[in-house]
Chains A and B, each alone.
Chain A
């Protein structure tokens, strides 16, 4: 029985006054592809930093392959892409990949790492001359060049162009089929859905959902029903309806539901005066925000 790739046990992290991560526990088994999803500032990056050992938990335990994340033996088994981290601009792409390879016990060939990142044509360029998207691909090359068992990717597709993104998702898929563990953060549900078989939703430093993308989608998908009411709506008028979320501002009501027909039928039956009715597909981002919103209120 091999140790989990990463493990957080009742982990909290506080930066001064800010509680970034609050009593979070989860286990990521080897070979899992996990997306950590949540709005900006939800605690995704902090969670990743804790798993990498670049941040110390205020309380609780973090293990990487059963070891202290700071242990070089543990670090030798992971590759990382971080947000906003810099790389030396005066090295050439191939040089820096060579350099990073030397940190790992059984690295990929330099050319292979560069190919996976789609940087073949830029191998001889200085890092400082790369575009934002190319730089992001370089980070990917640096993450995979050690042929790691687990990859930690913080917002990996930010700044990538369409082609870069497509290729990146393909390569991640290929790594997953080879049994590599992949942990990535994103705020695109689509991306999580495409790659991961498990989604951990984080908001305000807490895990608010941890299940398959399908299950998450079922919770957040649905229709957006918006209307105004003549009189100020009463909370009790919405009691017992199959709603994912409900926002009432003065006379304006916004509902998210998977069963709009039933909800509307019931509202009419209850005699709610409905004006300016709109029913539309909730876009995922919105539905997701609604879901996190709803969770923090309950």
Chain B
């Protein structure tokens, strides 16, 4: 068995990661139920809700237009949507089809698998922002300068990271049949309650009190701030701190959910 000892013991990680990321991306992209809703939905909301009142001030006397506010809102909505629904539903489905069984017996390291999943979702999130940005600039004539575009894009992408953890956690906690309902039930109301569709001051007092503790609200402040559309007071530093804390909490939750699932199946 000299041929056995001559070759290296395991495959190189980077080409593996590249292939895996490509496969994960293609898997998501080729499911219209996912790719269309992820990429087109934020833009569609923008067309339905934002377009008509794009030039109007956010509220009387505000220097910020509704168009700017809603652009930032939908950018965040889109990326977090990819993470929560992309991971949540696709992971739950993969588990339902026992895809993890075969993967588990290959020499693919689990961290490579998860990194690839995260990268593929980030890529789709980026596409959703670009599509939305192009639409807002061309159709709605939203004018923000280049540095604002970049800040908005970068912040939206960064703010999507805690939701990767949340998506993973939901994917391992929800069953394949309940995943779409569960993820939507969690995601849509919190998006609404965080003021992504209507400025917070138009919402009931209860929600206004609750909002500052929601991760999407903190993310929203950061993206609004990048186009000068910050709706509430408070500092960016606090917002980042909250996002950091949510990242830790959601990833720990994901890890716990993953271990729980693995313990059930592979013990």
Which A residues are closer than 8 A to B by beta carbons? Answer: 2, 30, 52-56, 72-73, 75-78, 80, 82, 84-91, 95-96, 98-100, 102-107, 126, 139, 142, 146, 149, 152, 179
Residues 85-107 of B contacting A (Cβ, < 8 Å)? 94, 97-99, 101-102, 104-107
User: Would you call A76 and B10 a contact (CB within 8 A)?
Assistant: yes
Please measure, in the bound complex, the distance between the C-alpha atom of A95 and the C-alpha atom of B25, giving whole angstroms: 12
User: Would you call B98 and A85 a contact (CB within 8 A)?
Assistant: yes
User: Would you call A103 and B27 a contact (CB within 8 A)?
Assistant: no
Please measure, in the bound complex, the distance between the C-alpha atom of A78 and the C-alpha atom of B16, giving whole angstroms: 17
User: Would you call A85 and B101 a contact (CB within 8 A)?
Assistant: yes
User: Would you call A103 and B108 a contact (CB within 8 A)?
Assistant: yes
Q: Given A56-B266, A149-B4, decide whether A104 and B102 contact each other with a Cβ distance below 8 A.
A: no
Please measure, in the bound complex, the distance between the C-alpha atom of A126 and the C-alpha atom of B23, giving whole angstroms: 13
Q: Which residue of the partner chain B has the closest CB to A88?
A: B27
Task: Choose one: B20, B30, B109, B267; the contact of A72 (CB below 8 Å).
Answer: B109
User: Would you call B11 and A105 a contact (CB within 8 A)?
Assistant: yes
* Interfacial chain B residues near A30, Cβ < 8 Å: 1
User: Would you call A52 and B105 a contact (CB within 8 A)?
Assistant: yes
Interface string of B131-157 (1 = CB under 8 A from A): 000000000000000000000000000
Please measure, in the bound complex, the distance between the C-alpha atom of A75 and the C-alpha atom of B9, giving whole angstroms: 10
* Interfacial chain B residues near A52, Cβ < 8 Å: 105
* Interfacial chain B residues near A73, Cβ < 8 Å: 9-10
Task: Choose one: B4, B27, B101; the contact of A77 (CB below 8 Å).
Answer: B4
Which label, helix, strand, loop or mixed, suits the secondary structure of the A interface?
loop
Please measure, in the bound complex, the distance between the C-alpha atom of A142 and the C-alpha atom of B101, giving whole angstroms: 14
Closest chain-B Cβ to A276's Cβ sits at a distance in Å of: 49
10 further interface pairs, Cβ-Cβ under 8 Å (given A55-B266, A75-B105, A102-B18): A53-B105, A73-B9, A73-B10, A76-B11, A80-B102, A88-B23, A95-B23, A100-B106, A103-B107, A106-B7
User: Would you call A104 and B11 a contact (CB within 8 A)?
Assistant: yes
Q: Which residue of the partner chain B has the closest CB to A67?
A: B9
User: Would you call B27 and A102 a contact (CB within 8 A)?
Assistant: no
Please measure, in the bound complex, the distance between the C-alpha atom of A100 and the C-alpha atom of B23, giving whole angstroms: 10
Q: Given A99-B20, A100-B106, A103-B108, decide whether A84 and B98 contact each other with a Cβ distance below 8 A.
A: yes
User: Would you call B8 and A82 a contact (CB within 8 A)?
Assistant: no
Task: Choose one: B4, B26, B27, B107; the contact of A104 (CB below 8 Å).
Answer: B107
* Interfacial chain A residues near B60, Cβ < 8 Å: none
Closest chain-B Cβ to A214's Cβ sits at a distance in Å of: 28
User: Would you call B102 and A91 a contact (CB within 8 A)?
Assistant: no
* Interfacial chain A residues near B30, Cβ < 8 Å: 90, 126
Task: Choose one: A78, A91, A139; the contact of B26 (CB below 8 Å).
Answer: A91
User: Would you call A84 and B101 a contact (CB within 8 A)?
Assistant: yes
Which 3 residue pairs of A and B lie closest in terms of their CB atoms, listed nearest first? Answer: A86-B97, A85-B102, A75-B107
Q: Given A75-B106, A85-B99, decide whether A54 and B266 contact each other with a Cβ distance below 8 A.
A: yes
User: Would you call A86 and B107 a contact (CB within 8 A)?
Assistant: no
User: Would you call B10 and A91 a contact (CB within 8 A)?
Assistant: no
User: Would you call A105 and B26 a contact (CB within 8 A)?
Assistant: no
B15 interface contact, C-beta 8 A? yes
B19 interface contact, C-beta 8 A? yes
B31 interface contact, C-beta 8 A? yes
Please measure, in the bound complex, the distance between the C-alpha atom of A75 and the C-alpha atom of B98, giving whole angstroms: 19
Q: Which residue of the partner chain A has the closest CB to B23?
A: A99
Q: Which residue of the partner chain B has the closest CB to A128?
A: B30
